[in-house]
Structure 1
Amino acid sequence: MKLRRFFSVLMAAGLVASSLAGCGGSAGTSAGGDNADTQKTAENGKKGPNGETLAAEQVAHGMQFHVVTFDTAQAGDSESGSFFLATCEGLFRENKGVLENTGCEKYEISDDGLTYTFHLRKNKWSDGVEVVASQYKDAVERVLNVDLACPYAFFAFPIKNAENYYNGKCGFDEVGVEAVDDYTLKFTLEAPEPYFIDKLAYTMFDPIRVDNIEKYGDTYGTDAMQVLSCGPYMVQEYTASQSTVLVKNPEYWDAEHVYLDEIDLQQIDETATQFQLFEAGQLDFVPASGDYLKKWDEAASEGKCQLYIDKDVSTQYFAFNTQESCPSGLMQNAKIRKAVAYTFDSQTFIDSVYNSRYTAAYGLVTPNIKVGDKEYRSEVAEPIKEEYSEYANNPEKLKALFHEGLKELGKDTDDLSTITLQFLGYGETTIEKDIEQYVVQRIQDNLGVKVKLNIVGDFGLANAAQLAGEFDLCMLGWGADYNDPMTFIDIFRTGGGSNYGKYSSEKYDQILDQLATEQDNDKRMKLYGEAESILIRDDAAIKPLLYRDKHSYINNRFHNFQYPVFGGKYEFKYAYIVEE
């Protein structure tokens, strides 16, 4: 592995932190994998896809993925998605915003829109075993196993009898997924779904190896070294919260067009360290940060690095624990949630935390998401933009609303300072501390109640605390998985795996049921608007903060590295390093 140069720059800068100790990672190779040295393919004079001369050493350096799970059935976040983009090959893969046939060579859709037949490409796992249709079928059965409580199980519900099977009403043999033969896979739906192909590009539909899962039993998904790869890269080394080394998978069907031999990822917490390493050429890409925007935008304009700017389809928001069991015992009341929500001003949040980088949000669904050929956000007004202005920076009105909620609960008090709300955060970076300070200041200044900070160490611990409901409010983000508002709206269905606040509304669920069979795009647009208003304005289950963008810097030598629109954050398959 090529970590020696990376580590020496940290030493020279005097920036070696305890989190980077032992950055060599775990020894060993993934199942079926050879030593990375046997896989080097780059040679002086070798050409890239556009005729560039490739560097002899095709090793990319990036920051460690904060992977929540190494089980495709349990993955529901973009960091885990990035890992599986590197190590798995599903039916489709996004390339510069366009879905390409990868795991399948071609497919047909029946005239009634109910039957999808896929003809699979010949591919192999990293241990040489063939990828076959039954492994895709096994993936669907696993994600529908109710005992696993997979967060994206609902993605499969449009498949015939999938929801019935999930609820124990039929056997899996009645579910509309069939391995016709080793290289033919068929799905049958309950009703036509315009974005079903987009869903099939998501991690949960990637093929799985049941024999490998059974090998590790209950521990499966906890360690990257357990993962068998059928994608462009496989895991060579992994140390949790420290480092990961991915190497080219020689068994991959398109290995000829995978140029990187190795991807070295390191945990680097401090923004200053990230940019020093990037400037020294020891990180190949780095996300923009408020304090560094001007300097590096100017550097890019001078040709010192590549500037990547693009629209995004992700929203950042505060979520409220709507259960009576929440730490304060108060957030089950919609008026209390709304009073807390309206203490937060999207624009001041962006200004104070992100140096004015993003766009203020007063809705859940981002711009750039469409219903048919119409952009949703251009057709449907953000549901709380007008109402929020009535409460903005008005402590008296906010306190009055808060008191109304307390009275409904039979818990009113003249002294709001006796009430404490608990905010769940994680990590100790500059941005995370700014968020914590913002939350405390806005709530205390506008409502007079106290805020207790519950700060956990990392994303994994925060995710566990969110699932356990150990918060009154926490900050979350959601990136679209496909190009339709449903990718945002169905998060908050009763019992949804990513519905951390346990929001439940019969009226909201009924609208989702209507949308499941509605084919008229104008009617679907209206229904999405109704659902969004119920969620955010009527019930105040969340408070939207901002619509994100993609803004980063890439080493001039590092070409065709991509930030996918949907799914994972990073795509390495098409990347390569040119000779300087």
Structure 2
Amino acid sequence: MNNCKKLLALGLAGAMTLSLAACGGGSSSGTSSDGTSSADKVVYRELYSGEVTTLNYLTTSNTNEYAIGANVVDCLVEYDNYGNIIPSLAESWEHNDDMTEWTFHIRKGAKWVDKTGAEVADVTANDWVSTAAYVNDAHNDSGSQYMYDTGSVVHNAQAYYDYTAYLLTLETMGIATGENAVDEDGDPIEVVDPVSPEDIGVKAVDDYTLVFTLDQPCPFFLSVLSYTSYMPVYGPFLEEMGDQFGLDADSLLYCGSYILSSFEPQYERVLTKNPTYWDKDNVFIDEIRMTYNAEANSVSTAMYESGEVDYVEVSSDLLDSMLKDEKTKDLVHGSRPDNSFSYFFCFNFDPQFDEEYEPENWKIAVNNTNFRKAVMAGLDRVKALTVNDPYNPESLLNNTVTPANFAVGDGKDFTQYDALKAYTDGDSFDAAKAVEYRDAAKAELTAAGATFPIKVLMPYNPSSTNWDKECQVIEQQLEGVLGTDFIDIIVEAGPETGFLSSVRRSGNYALLKCNWGADYADPQTWSEPFGEGNNYNFWDTSEDPETAALFDAYSAKVAQASAIYDDDAARYTAFAEAEAMLIDNAIIIPFSISSGSGYTICDLNPLEGEYASYGVASQRYKYQKLYDTSMSMEEFNTAYAAWEEARTKAVAE
């Protein structure tokens, strides 16, 4: 182990902090783009194979695109490496008693600069007013506008969006007024009352005082503010650029830790440290150089070995050979588990598949609790997850819908609340119980008129790596436990494009692996896929009295939990009880979290950067340092264990 790697491992295993004089493996000499000396400049280099279509951070919802915005524009708040919210462009904030009014005090001295670093204007509260007006105007088609109407419900934001959408419809059809107008199908166009951008509940009291007004109490509002749709924009510049805003590096202004100093599509992107940045002492990498290469996945390993790049993604099919190769075995390591997405199997209560798969028979089976429990207890999730991670599949296992380490209420992780703790600390797979549930279900289903084996249509998206193999493992494993005379798992490829529309949203499945991504730091976000009108499992449409009663009880519990805003413990207890209803009754089967970046070779320490399971924090390079070489698997595992322990203490405090 060289000295830099020793520093990395020892620092993480101890206080989880490192000397600011970190080893700069990518240092270079010469002259920077602004003409200054770049001797000993710390440069991080990586390849990319997917080009962006826009740099407009206010409209994109594409990770590849907003990853640039995340580094060149700051938010009101940011995160430390344990996930705690800390000040950024807002130095401080407070809220009223019922959390419907939030006041932010904007940091004085923060600047908007152009791509050369020349100052253009001060960052002021007006910049967030400009953002709200732009994002909620339907003409701009923002992919993250929904964040103004999800959970937080900013006053009149959705009303303004609906009004501008109405105007856009009239403009598209060439109609001057909506009165007595009809659409292309001949249906009446409903007139929408006028709403102006000034009506939106985002106000600048003065240049450095910003107030958000919400329609309902929102204890998690701070966690909403790290989305692109809440990033500031300098209004006069936005107006000047018009529809040219965000087309290239010249059509953006910057107030974040980096400036997009060079942007040449399908050649190179260069992020340069912002010399006017308010917190530049916490920006340790001077330049981030991203080079386009259509074959990035196949050439990056060789380029790392020759010292040309600092990052390699290791695909699952190459992992085994690279861990056995003397040149790479001590460089490959895992990544921090990504709990921004939860994967779970949905039972479809409103089957819309072909008659050959016996939808009416499936309806009888899926409304039987013992049948669902038999499938849940019979599913060996760890075995299925070895398809994607043969070395540590347990790290991906998720025993609840809400992932562990996602939400903390009253100093305790949500998954450790009483209603969920038994699931969190256990494993739903139990072959003996599965057989018991199967036998009970068989008697009940026979009496209800069902025929056997129960056909279970389980589609997969062929464009998703290894999903087909995972389905095959599950088919063999479940049928092995429950018997092919009881259940017939039918694995079938869905379309490569439009899979969600043609399969999940249209109910063209019996059992399907689904996922949901967190929108904010509260367990409420994980209840959204299962509410009324959902297109995940359609259990709200079931005509079975027992299922309908369960849905009503679940909905009532979610409503009760959502109404609690001034007592974290009570709110989390109620949400945990609601989530337990889903698992207790096997309405869904919790499965896994995302694999994150999977296995990588990387000269950055992934545990040093900002940490959050939502928003843009995980895309930022601020706080990260560059090292001479990559951690090994053992070093990363030691570091991650130390990080988990330190995070638990930090969150509790």
TM-score normalised by length of structure 1? 0.69
Does residue 570 of structure 1 match 2:619? yes
Query: 1:574 deviation in Å?
Result: 3.8
Does residue 199 of structure 1 match 2:236? no
Does residue 346 of structure 1 match 2:334? no
Matching residue of 2:461 = 424
Matching residue of 2:559 = 513
Query: 1:264 deviation in Å?
Result: 0.8
Alignment of 1:51-450 (within 5 A): 54-55=41-42, 58-63=43-48, 72=57, 82-97=67-82, 98-110=84-96, 113-121=99-107, 122-124=110-112, 126=114, 130=121, 131-141=123-133, 150-155=145-150, 157-160=152-155, 171=195, 173-190=198-215, 192-208=217-233, 228=252, 230=254, 231=256, 232-234=258-260, 236-237=262-263, 245-248=269-272, 253-254=277-278, 258=283, 259-264=285-290, 266=292, 275-286=301-312, 292=319, 305=331, 310=336, 313-320=339-346, 322=348, 324=350, 326-327=352-353, 330=359, 333-335=366-368, 344-355=379-390, 356-357=392-393, 358-368=395-405, 369-380=407-418, 381=420, 388-389=428-429, 394=434, 401=441, 412-414=450-452, 416=454, 420-427=457-464, 429=465, 431-432=466-467, 434-442=469-477, 447-450=487-490
Structure-2 change in CA distance of 1:75 and 1:372 (3 Å)? farther
Larger Rg: 2
Alignment of 1:5-20 (within 5 A): none
Q: Which one-letter code corresponds to 1:423 in the other structure?
A: Y
Query: 1:306 deviation in Å?
Result: 8.9
Q: Which one-letter code corresponds to 1:44 in the other structure?
A: A
**Number of aligned residues:** 520
Does the residue aligned with 2:579 lie in a helix, a strand or coil?
helix
Q: Which one-letter code corresponds to 1:197 in the other structure?
A: L
TM-score normalised by length of structure 2? 0.62
Does the residue aligned with 2:218 lie in a helix, a strand or coil?
coil
Preserved CA contact (<8 Å) 1:508 1:534:
yes
2:467 and 2:245 mapped to 1: Cα distance?
31
* Structure 1: 5+ residue stretches without partners: 1-35, 46-53
Matching residue of 2:632 = none
Preserved CA contact (<8 Å) 2:385 2:470:
no
Preserved CA contact (<8 Å) 1:299 1:305:
no
Structure-2 change in CA distance of 1:165 and 1:237 (3 Å)? closer
Q: Which one-letter code corresponds to 1:102 in the other structure?
A: S
Per-residue CA shift, 1:190-229, capped at 9, x if unaligned?
4553322222123331125788599786x999x8889735
Structure-2 change in CA distance of 1:282 and 1:442 (3 Å)? farther
Preserved CA contact (<8 Å) 1:423 1:451:
yes
1:184 and 1:176 mapped to 2: Cα distance?
14
Q: Quick one: percent identity of the two aligned structures?
A: 19
Per-residue CA shift, 1:314-333, capped at 9, x if unaligned?
45423538474744584875
1:334 and 1:227 mapped to 2: Cα distance?
56
Does the residue aligned with 1:85 lie in a helix, a strand or coil?
helix
Preserved CA contact (<8 Å) 2:352 2:506:
yes
Query: 1:354 deviation in Å?
Result: 1.1
